[in-house]
Structure formats: C-alpha cells, structure tokens
Amino acid sequence: MALAFFVLLIEYPRSKRKSGRTIERSFQFIFTKFVSMLGVFGRNYFIRFVFYLLSGVPCLFCVGTVLGGICLIITSIIYLKAAIADEQWIACEKETVSKKTLTRAQPPSVAPPRMVYKNEYTDP
C-alpha cells in the first residue's frame, strides 16, 4: 500500500512538454511540490527506472501481486527508454497571463448636432 501511495505521488503531476502547451491536472500543484522536493530523484527518469524495476521484481513472486509487478516492470522499461532519450521531468509552472482590463469610453461632453426636419403639415 505504501508503494502504491508513493507511485501516486510521483506519477500524478504531468511533466512540462518540450513543445506545445501542457494542461495540468486538477490539484497538480500539490504533488508538483513533492516531486520538486525529491530533487534529482524526482526529475531523473533513470532513477525512476531503477526504482520501478526494484519494486516490480519482488511483486512477481506472489500470485496476488503478479499483475501489479508486470505493470511496474513495463513502466520501468518505458522510463529506461525515456532516460536513454535524455528526457527528464520538468515542473509545470503556471503561466502568468496579464488580464485585460475593460476600459469604458467617456461620454461626449457636447451633444452631437441634430438635423431639424420641417414638417409640411404644421404651420411655422
């Protein structure tokens, strides 16, 4: 159970993409702080590969945890591929977007000129 909770803490926050926008998950900033606190252990994918490999192998010896162990082994292989490609986890930081303030135009101080219409039915 402790291993599953630790995996949740590490895997929940998304890494920042090299190109394009990264959409953060709900409440990701809480978990991002934890992964950032781990330092190189949270950022480096090779260390994650070793962690998942060492966590997955003992799970293969108990029938009840075989499926979870296989998932951890597959995850470790994916992290090995990412580590070979020289990728690492980068924290998503919220982009500061300047809010546009609505400016209201001031009303004119002088009324616009109006045309005077002569009505042919009334006497002037």
State the CB neighbour count (10 A cutoff) for residue 94.
7
The model's pTM is 0.64
Question: 61-109 pLDDT, tens per residue?
Answer: 999 989 999 999 999 999 899 899 988 887 777 666 667 777 888 888 8
State the CB neighbour count (10 A cutoff) for residue 6.
13
Question: 24-68 pLDDT, tens per residue?
Answer: 777 777 778 878 888 888 888 898 899 989 999 998 999 998 999
Please, what sign has the CA dihedral across residues 71, 88, 13, 97?
Answer: negative
